[in-house]
A and B are shown apart, each in its own frame.
Chain A
Amino acid sequence: MPANRFNGFNDYGIGIGLRVPHYGHILSEKPTVDWFEIISENFMADGGRPLEVLDRILEQYRVVQHGVSLYFGSADRFDRAHLRRLKNLVKRTGTPWLTDHLCWGSVDGTYTHDLLPMPYTFAAAKRTAEKIRYAQDFLGVPICVENVSSYTEYHVSEMTEWEFLSEVVELADCGILLDVNNIYVSSKNHGFNPVDYIDNIPHHRVAQMHIAGHTKFEKYILDTHDHPVLDPVWKLYTRATRLCGVTATLLEWDDRIPSFEEVHDEALKANRYIAEARQAGEVAIGAQRRGRRG
């Protein structure tokens, strides 16, 4: 697994998201899992059951924090109380890196609770990168930004989504959480070739990958995280692995959640595609092979 400075030089394997329906099984059976991803906001509580569960998980497992509310792309400044609360959680979990989305979702102190697409402009990239740098300094852990799935595009955009992602991460000097399912979903919704996306990002910055299922509607695809991973997404994952190296990978399954075993088995399928990537050709080994840019 490529350990690089964007994931704290950690070689994590195949993980799954920690979800409420699995708490009982995990705490009682203590299954072998490489690592769990937690939704930071679910544990930014002041006390009670969430923190009790988290502490018990931390006794047994490696945990990486994934957030849904930093909204790096929102024009507003960060709420420092929110950042302080997040930092307390970072100290508690010891997360080696922290991820959140390349999106916006709040304005004037109100929250949409959605991961809204960015306008792909240089001004937006500059503002977003400033905020990522600020958060990275404040929180004291490497940050990786995740590409979101989207259903619309703005007239004001000046570049492609992958150009925007590249611009932001270079300006912010941060890592990428590459969600290959989101690339697939957006490629179908916007009519671009997902291979162009994967081929044209700074691969040495990819520190984690997400895989997930989605739902096809008549005129668009929705990122629902309620199905197994579909074949075209696995193909993209294989290609991304060839280009980026074998990377810490996490299966997201957030709705209509089946048993723990079913979710974990689905995640472990990634090993099959990692092997395919190795067979298909040279697999990059990340930062070591490519030098330490930026």
Chain B
Amino acid sequence: MSGRGTLPVPRRAPLALRSTEDLRALQRFMAAALRRRLAPGERMQARWTDGRAMTRVAGEFMKPNDRLTSFERLEIYNRQYWFRLLESFREDAPGLFALLGERRFWRLAEAYLEDCPPHSYTLRDLCAGLASYLRTHPSLTSPLTREAVAVARFEWAQIVAFDGPSRPPVPDERLARSAPGRLRLGIQPYVTLLELDHAVDDYVIAVKQRDGALRSGASNAVARRRKSAAAAAAPELRRERVRLAVHRVDNQVYFKRLDAVEFRLLRALRAGRTLARACEIAFRGSREGVEARAARVQSAFAQWRRLGWICAPGGKGPKGQEKVER
């Protein structure tokens, strides 16, 4: 997970290493150096946080060799840190890239990664806190903040759908036996329910078709920031109220549009309401008759069970779910 605030920057590295605490101090210092943003020309910054020349600071703890100064040797790691994280961020956010354009996207990426250094052993989690960050830093995406948040939520939901956990399905007999007033059901943890003001599903499909976006494995060494595909006209992100379930079938990621009743029903079930209560919430304000409602619920459930969404209750859904009324 990302986003735990700015870390303290040590003033200097230890001059000797005799204990685990000395080791930690050295590692804190070097990590702080790697996390500092690159200067123009993708070089390491010329000054340390206290104003001292970085050539001097690097020379205090790094050896030079016959070809590279201490500064240049540390710079290799500083560049690799940023190139690797930026590349991963770019791979996970193709829709956001298309929405914001290259310049603003990289400015956002650098700000986010500086403010929220990775707190997970896997780069898969790099964008877990991005939607929240966009909400609290609107200047980075203005005037497209609402759109950017929507796209970021949708893109994170796809990552959850790709490899999120699943729970066993509910047996048919349990569904048949239980009274709706007592029956509580779960929605698979890998399913994310989203209610958005923009048609991000159409948008991201259009972007992926344009970019031929593909995930690829990461290399240990990143020699340079990879060039983005030549800029092409960005698809249009239409303003439209959409309700989506981002999910997987046979381990392929899909997204499915839901109507308002279906969305409220699923959201209420996920929040732990009984089936009867969830139906009340879902149909509030509806003019449908009892029989029509029953038919609709049965039809929806048949489809959701085929898709594997319905499971035993327990646990929470992915982060960023909509709130449900009591």
Contacts and interface: CB of A to CB of B under 8 A. Distances in A.
Interface string A184-206: 00000111000000000000000
B76 A113 contact: no
A149 B189 CA distance: 40
Interface in A212-239: 215, 217, 219-220, 222-226
Interface residues of A, number: 61
Interface stretch (A6-14, A116-124, A285-293): A116-124
Interface string B112-152: 00000111111110000000000000000000000000000
Interface stretch (B160-168, B194-202, B267-275, B297-305): B160-168
A75 interface: yes
Given A45-B163, A75-B24, A224-B221, 20 more contacts: A20-B217, A21-B217, A47-B163, A47-B165, A48-B164, A49-B252, A75-B23, A104-B27, A108-B31, A112-B31, A113-B118, A123-B19, A151-B77, A153-B62, A153-B65, A155-B61, A190-B65, A220-B68, A254-B219, A257-B217
Contact of B63 (A114, A124, A153): A153
B221 A107 contact: no
Which residue of B7, B18, B28, B120 has the most chain A CB atoms within 10 A of its CB atom? B120
B81 A114 contact: yes
A113 B77 contact: no
A74 B27 contact: yes
Interface string B19-61: 1111110111011001100000000000000000000000011
Contacts of A19: 217
A25 to B, nearest CB: 15
A48 B77 CA distance: 34
Contacts of A47: 163-166, 190
20 contacts: A20-B215, A21-B217, A45-B124, A49-B162, A50-B163, A75-B23, A107-B27, A107-B31, A110-B35, A113-B85, A113-B118, A114-B80, A115-B220, A121-B17, A123-B19, A151-B76, A151-B77, A156-B14, A191-B65, A222-B76
A110 B24 contact: no
Interface in B54-95: 60-63, 65-68, 70, 72-74, 76-77, 80-81, 84-85
Nearest to A44: B122
Interface string A28-45: 000000000001011011
B37 to A, nearest CB: 15
Contacts of A51: 163
